[in-house]
Structure 1
Amino acid sequence: MFLVISRSHSLLLSLPGDMVAELARVIRWPDDSSIGKIVKQDLVPAVLYLRMCYPVGLNLLFTPQFLDLVGGTGEFDAVNLLESDRVFKYYKYDLIDKPRCEVTWAPILCLPNPPAVWNRTTVEALQDYAKARMLTACDLQHTGCPESIPPSLGSVFQRPKTRWDKTVENVTVMVINTNFCLKELERIPLRKLTRSQREKLTVLHRQWALEAAKNIPNNFTKLERKLHKGKKARQSMYTYIDTAHFPNQIIKINDVNKGLVVLVIPTMPQKLREETYAAIRYVHNTLSKYLSPDQLEKLYECIHYSVWNRYSKRGTGAPTEAHPSSIRREGKAGPQTTRVNIPRESEEAKLWQTHKERLRNACAPFFAWVEDTLKDLLPEEFSALEVSINVLPVGDSVLCHPPTSVVVNFNVNTIMHVDDKDEEICVVFQLSDCTGGELCLAEPGLVLRLRNGDGVIFKSNEVTHSNLDYVGERMSIVFHSDSDLDAWVEDYNGWGSNRFFRASQS
């Protein structure tokens, strides 16, 4: 009722699941924070007043089919908090449930014993009564006891795991088979290198990449020869692939086991390319710049609109009968919120919340196209990633289905790196008006020239990648999922067996 009156429903839907969970917790068990005091001093008295004035039945809020499932009827009293709590517990939100504080909510736990419960028939009859007499809701507020409605106005109508790289191949997919074998390679030891050392290594590889032969329509035969022994003969060997030579032609490069090395997607409709580029610049109009190479390192920006599980507190081995907020490590004291036990949105996404919603609306056609494309090309991986989405707390939504993270990069100038926390794949779409900026994949020796709106899929958690310097404006949107979400999918971070956890999946 409060959500309807305050018109906050859409705002609540835009909040990440962990914030909704925290809001629910502080309402049920308010603390001494500023929000907790509002609940105690304002919300509880307001609920007490409203339930005295409007003793509504639950069939005003729920369908008869749903009430049958939970044992409710048309006379199921919504102002009885014990009964309404039982109804709401039927919903499984993949969250740790917080019991209601009996001290704070004591005035409402006792029943007001109204003369009658207002069910749907009663309220519809009141509406007819008000319309017939041209009354407002305020006029009707203290007049609308069910018994006082004339019988003639009481008649109303009744409202009735997988192979991530198993792609679908069709006429739009050009398949290039190589003998490349990533597992047999001696990997670049990035973890052992300092930032300065990685920068120097990146400069060296960029020089090699720039030496790769360009303007050759079919470089794939050359690529096959370079990788015929499973790897490059020399670190300096790179092959240049330009999507301009293959308009609307998806390029799939396989390894020795027919596994996917890279999938290049230059098939986005031209109008959608232009609209998406304009939309990103509109939403984040202060971040994207027209740059020259000497400015790149200073102005690189990125925003992670992500749902992460990597920092969540695990419940493995914790007592199943104890509420998670009461469980602390030895030597730790102070209040504990269950928000730390569940996947939650990145701090950047919270700071840029308004921009996130603008991005959701402005780029809706692009996100829908990406979703359809991934579902068509990688159906098994799509289904596997959907599992994580389906069990996010409170049905949390993401910008693009099914990846849980959308990263927007501005003035992109990355040095050599591996995203070891990515779940299987990384999907990158370039949005640009620039010269240069090619994507480099070190192990297979690929230099990919992408135009505005071109996409690429590769295994970012294994393949070392970076990009070349450029002149102009260059942005990218990266889609990936957090590999640590596997722990949430398997057993809700170890909290699934806790008696206070309400799981949607059994």
Structure 2
Amino acid sequence: MDTSKDPTLPFKVLHFIWYNRYAAHVYGQGEEPPPQSSNKKGRKKKKTNSSQRIPHGSKDLQKHPVQYCLLQQIYAPVFSWIDAKIQKHFPKIHQELLEFANTLPLNDVSVASPFTGFVINMNVSTLIHRDWQDHHLCVVTVISDCVGGELVLQEPGLVLQLRSGDMVIFPSARISHFNLHFHGERGSLVCHSDRHFLSWTQKERNKWAHNTLFRSS
């Protein structure tokens, strides 16, 4: 593959991550209705996306459970290593991210803890952007057999020539970034968390904490 010859070449991205963005808060209907069935007074039920009352898995997480299980087994040592590095170098951020990962519904577990999930990019040559929905840090691990594809961090003025297995940690919502064209095969493993989990962890479970279904017996 040579992205410089055709920037429109198709690529594939798989998002295996939990989100809390676009979460709807409680509508004051009392304690009993479960979040998934509660509906704003006067609003037609068919227009309500009840899956976004609480943190929810991405579409890829729901559509590709077999691939997800295989990838979490393959990358388990990588996730463990990333976890140790974040805890060592960014202990306060690690603790806050861990709070996200440890409060998933139904006691689910994020394999990419302390992050709420991971993304697999395959042969992606990105335009300059910021990931505004990310919280604090993202971790990019390069998996490649290519020439080019350097990661550019605009504000600090860095062009990083990364070899396969190299890892970069940076605040993806604050630094504009993209990768240059490449020839060959290039992939990356990206760990990050949805910043909207703050509404879940710090605002009484999206304001549903009073609900009887959130109480322990």
TM score, norm. by length of structure 2: 0.90
Match of 1:306 in 2: 17
Of the three residues 441, 446, 452, the one matched with 2:158 is: 446
Choose which of 372, 377, 391 in structure 1 pairs with 2:89.
377
Tell me which amino acid in the other structure corresponds to 1:320.
G
The residue aligned with 2:123 is: 411
Distance 1:493 1:448, change over 3 A: same
What is residue 349 of structure 1 aligned with on the other side?
A: 61
- Distance in 1 between the 2:182 and 2:15 partners? 23
Number of the residue aligned with 2:198: 486
**In 1, Cα distance between equivalents of 2:41 and 2:5:** 49
1:471 counterpart SS class: strand
Q: Is the 8 A contact 2:155 2:176 kept in 1?
A: yes
1:255-291 per-residue CA deviation (whole Å, 9 max, x = no partner) reads xxxxxxxxxxxxxxxxxxxxxxxxxxxxxxxxxxx44
- Rounded to whole Å, the distance in 1 between the matches of 2:94 and 2:105 is 20
**What is the alpha-carbon distance in structure 1 between the residues aligned to residue 5 and residue 69 of structure 2?**
34
Which residue in 2 is equivalent to 1:149?
none
CA drift at 1:337: 8.3
1:318 aligns with 2:31: no
Quick one: distance in 1 between partners of 2:9 and 2:38?
46
Root mean square deviation, CA, Å: 2.0
Identity of aligned residues (%): 35
Q: What is aligned with 1:496? A: 209
Q: Is the 8 A contact 2:20 2:52 kept in 1?
A: no
Q: Secondary structure at the match of 2:9?
A: helix
CA distance in 1, matches of 2:75, 2:168: 19
Matches within 5 A, 1:162-241: none
- Equivalent residues of 1:415, 1:466 under 8 A apart: yes
- Residue identity matched to 1:313: A
Kept in 1: contact 2:144–2:164 (CA 8 A): yes
Distance 1:329 1:291, change over 3 A: farther
CA distance in 2, matches of 1:460, 1:334: 36
- Cα contact 1:297–1:413 (8 A) shared by 2: no
Other-structure match for 1:427: 139
Is residue 3–residue 9 contact of structure 2 (8 Å, CA) maintained in 1? Answer: no
Gaps of 5+ in 2: none
C-alpha distance in 1 between matches for 2:82 and 2:38: 43
2:104 aligned partner: 392
Q: Pairwise mapping of residues 143-162 of structure 1 onto structure 2 (< 5 A)? A: none
Q: Secondary structure at the match of 2:73?
A: helix
Secondary structure at the counterpart of residue 303 of structure 1: strand
Alpha-carbon distance in structure 1 between the residues aligned to 2:180 and 2:109:
34
Give the ranges of 4+ consecutive aligned residues of structure 1 lying more than 3 Å apart after TM superposition: 333-340
* AA aligned opposite 2:20: N
Q: 2:183 aligns with which of 447, 451, 471?
A: 471
Larger proportion of strand: 2
Q: Is the 8 A contact 2:139 2:192 kept in 1?
A: yes
Q: Deviations over 1:62-121 (max 9, x none)?
A: xxxxxxxxxxxxxxxxxxxxxxxxxxxxxxxxxxxxxxxxxxxxxxxxxxxxxxxxxxxx
* AA in 2 matched with 1:323: P
Shift of 1:391: 1.3
Letter in 2 for 1:321: E
Q: CA deviation at 1:322?
A: 4.3
Q: Write the distance in 2 (CA, Å) between the matches of 1:397 and 1:304.
A: 16
What one-letter code is carried by the residue in structure 2 that aligns with 1:397?
A: V
Give yes or no for contact 2:120–2:189 (8 Å, CA) kept in 1: yes
The number of residue pairs the alignment matches comes to: 213
Q: Could you tell me how far 1:311 is from its partner in structure 2?
A: 3.0
Q: Deviations over 1:237-270 (max 9, x none)?
A: xxxxxxxxxxxxxxxxxxxxxxxxxxxxxxxxxx
1:436 to 139, 145, 148: 148
The unaligned stretches of length 5 or more in structure 1 are 1-289
Q: Please tell me whether Structure 1 or Structure 2 has the larger radius of gyration of its CA atoms.
A: 1
Matches within 5 A, 1:71-86: none
2:5 is paired with a residue of what secondary structure? helix
Distance 1:292 1:502, change over 3 A: closer
Counterpart residue identity of residue 496, structure 1: A
The structure where helix makes up a greater share of residues is 1
Does the C-alpha gap of structure 1 residues 291 and 392 become closer, same or farther in structure 2, counting only changes over 3 Å? same
Please give the alpha-carbon distance, in whole angstroms, between the structure 2 residues aligned to 1:356 and 1:402.
17
* Contact map agreement 1:418 1:462 (CA 8 A) in 2: yes
Aligned in 2, Cα 1:333/1:435: closer, same or farther, shift over 3 Å?
closer
Aligned residue runs from structure 1 range 237-256, under 5 A: none
Supply the distance in 1 between the matched residues of 2:163 and 2:91 (Cα, whole angstroms): 26
Amino acid at match of 2:71: L
Q: Is the 8 A contact 2:144 2:187 kept in 1?
A: yes
Partner residue in 2 for 1:119:
none
Instruction: State the match for 1:456 in structure 2.
Output: 168
Query: Structure 1 residues 472, 398: closer, same or farther in 2, change over 3 A?
Result: same
